[in-house]
Amino acid sequence: MIKGMTGFGASTFSVGKVKGLIEVKSVNHRYLDLSFYLPMGFGAVENKIREMLAKELSRGRVTITVKITDKPNQEVFFNEEMIDEYLRHAKSIEKKYKLTNNLTLADLIRMPGVVDVKEVFVEAAEMWPSVEKGLKQALKGLKVMREREGKSLLADISDKLKRMAAKIKAIEKRTLVVLKEERQKMKSEEFSSFQKSIDVNEEIARFSHYIEEMKDLLKAVVPVGKKLDFIAQEMQRETNTIGSKLQDEMVSNEVISLKSKIEKIREQGNNVE
C-alpha cells in the first residue's frame, strides 16, 4: 500500500552517564533530501546514518536531529601512582628522621598531581551502537505515521478515480447521443467526416487504462509517487484531446470536472512516497 511522506519519530539513548535524544521528521519532497543536526564530533557517523535512512526511505525532505541532553561536565581522577610515590617518600622520611607519620586523606588530596579533573567529551564511536538502536526506533515511529497518511491518501485518490471512471462513461454515452442527433441533420458524406472528427474512442480507452494502472499502483508496496504524477499528466493530455474534439456543453462540463480531479490527484501524488 502507498505511503505518505509526512512523519515524525523520536527516541532516547544513553551510554553511561551520557543521555541523548533523536528526532527524525519528514515532509514532502520530490527526492530524498537529508539534513543533519548532530553534536560536535558526530560527523564521523553521519554517513552511517545516511546509509540507514536511504535503505528505509526513498522520498521526502528528512531532518535528523541528535541532541546530547545530559552528561557530566567533568570527571575526577585519582592518580594512584602519585599517591604511592608520596607515601613511599613519607615512610622513608619517617624512618630516616624518626618522625611520626600523621598523613591523612585530606593531606594527600591537597598534594599536587594527586587529583586530576578532566573535561568529558562525547565520543561518537563509543555512542554509535546506542545511537543506532535509537535511530531505528525513531524511524519506526516515522514510518508508522507515513503509513497512516498513506491510508488516507489511498482512500482519497481511489474515490477520485471512481468518480473519474463514471465521468468517462458519461462522455462515452453522450458521444453516442451527439452522433445520433447529428446523423438526422447531416448528409451521409458530411456525417462521415463529422463522425471521424469527434471520435474519442481511443482517448476514452487510454484514459480507462490509466485509471486501472493507477489503481494497481495504489496497491504497490514500492514507492510510486513519481509514477502517479506521470500517469496523471497522461490523463490530462487525453482529457484535453477529448475536450477539443467533442465540442458539446455536457462534455465540456465533464472535461472541466475531470481536469479538476486530475489536478487534485497530482497534488496528492506529491504527498505519496
Which CATH number characterizes residue 189's domain?
1.20.120
DSSP-based three-state secondary structure for 208: helix
Percent helix, percent strand, percent coil in the chain, to nearest 5: 60, 20, 20
Residues 80-93, buried b or exposed e (16+ Cβ, 10 A)?
A: eebbeebeeebeee
Top-confidence residue, 105 or 255: 255
| Angstrom distance (rounded) from CA 101 to CA 91 | 7
Residues 183-192 have a mean pLDDT of: 83
Question: Does residue 171 sit in the same domain as residue 233?
Answer: yes
| Angstrom distance (rounded) from CA 27 to CA 50 | 17
Q: What confidence score (pLDDT) does residue 154 get?
A: 95
DSSP-based three-state secondary structure for 265: helix
Which of 130, 145, 160 terminates a domain? The answer is 145
Going by pLDDT thresholds of 50, 70 and 90, the confidence category of residue 191 is: confident
Share of the chain above pLDDT 90, in %: 61
Report whether pLDDT(27) > 90. Answer: yes
Question: Does residue 223 sit in the same domain as residue 238?
Answer: yes
Q: What confidence score (pLDDT) does residue 181 get?
A: 84
Q: What confidence score (pLDDT) does residue 152 get?
A: 95
Domain with residue 42: its CATH number is: 3.30.230.40
Q: What confidence score (pLDDT) does residue 241 get?
A: 95
| Angstrom distance (rounded) from CA 40 to CA 163 | 54
Residues 233-246 have a mean pLDDT of: 94
Cell 543533519, residue located: 36
Q: What confidence score (pLDDT) does residue 95 get?
A: 80
* Cα 215 to chain centroid, rounded: 23
Beta strand pairing call for 74-78 and 18-27: unpaired
Question: Does residue 168 sit in the same domain as residue 63?
Answer: no
Question: Does residue 22 sit in the same domain as residue 133?
Answer: yes
| Angstrom distance (rounded) from CA 198 to CA 200 | 6
Q: What confidence score (pLDDT) does residue 76 get?
A: 64
Alpha-helical regions (H) of 111-248: 124-183, 188-197, 201-218, 225-245
Mean pLDDT across the chain = 89
Question: Does residue 109 sit in the same domain as residue 87?
Answer: yes
Question: Does residue 227 sit in the same domain as residue 115?
Answer: no
Q: What confidence score (pLDDT) does residue 98 get?
A: 76
Which H helix or E strand runs over 56?
helix 46-56
| Angstrom distance (rounded) from CA 86 to CA 114 | 9
| Angstrom distance (rounded) from CA 181 to CA 184 | 6
Q: What digits encode the pLDDT tens for the residues 193-236?
A: 888 888 999 999 999 999 999 999 999 888 999 999 999 999 99
Least confident of 79-88, 110-119, 152-161: 110-119
Report whether pLDDT(100) > 80. Answer: no
Top-confidence residue, 119 or 60: 60
**Dihedral, 185, 189, 192, 194 alpha carbons, nearest 10:** -60
Q: What confidence score (pLDDT) does residue 75 get?
A: 61
Cell 601512582, residue located: 81
Which of 145, 179, 201 terminates a domain? The answer is 145
Q: What digits encode the pLDDT tens for the residues 101-144?
A: 777 878 878 778 777 766 556 788 888 999 999 999 999 999 99
Q: What confidence score (pLDDT) does residue 104 get?
A: 80
Q: Give domain status of residue 1, yes or no.
A: no
Could you give the number of structural domains in the chain? 3
- 22 burial via Cβ count (<10 Å: 0-12, 13-18, 19+): buried
- Side chain identity at 55, as an amino acid letter? K
Which of 119, 135, 154 terminates a domain? The answer is 119
Question: Does residue 95 sit in the same domain as residue 220?
Answer: no
Going by pLDDT thresholds of 50, 70 and 90, the confidence category of residue 253 is: very high
Residue 242, phi then psi, degrees to nearest 5: -60, -45
Sign, CA dihedral 191-193-198-201, equals: positive
- Residues 223 and 273: beta-carbon distance below 8 Å: yes
Q: What confidence score (pLDDT) does residue 22 get?
A: 96
Question: Does residue 38 sit in the same domain as residue 88?
Answer: no
Q: What confidence score (pLDDT) does residue 47 get?
A: 93
Q: Give domain status of residue 90, yes or no.
A: yes
Least confident of 41-45, 116-120, 136-140, 157-161: 116-120
* Cα 40 to chain centroid, rounded: 25
Question: Does residue 50 sit in the same domain as residue 140?
Answer: yes
Question: Does residue 137 sit in the same domain as residue 172?
Answer: no
Question: Does residue 139 sit in the same domain as residue 12?
Answer: yes
**Range(s) of the domain holding residue 96:** 74-119
For residue 23, which of 180, 146, 138 has the smallest C-alpha distance? Answer: 138
Q: What confidence score (pLDDT) does residue 118 get?
A: 63
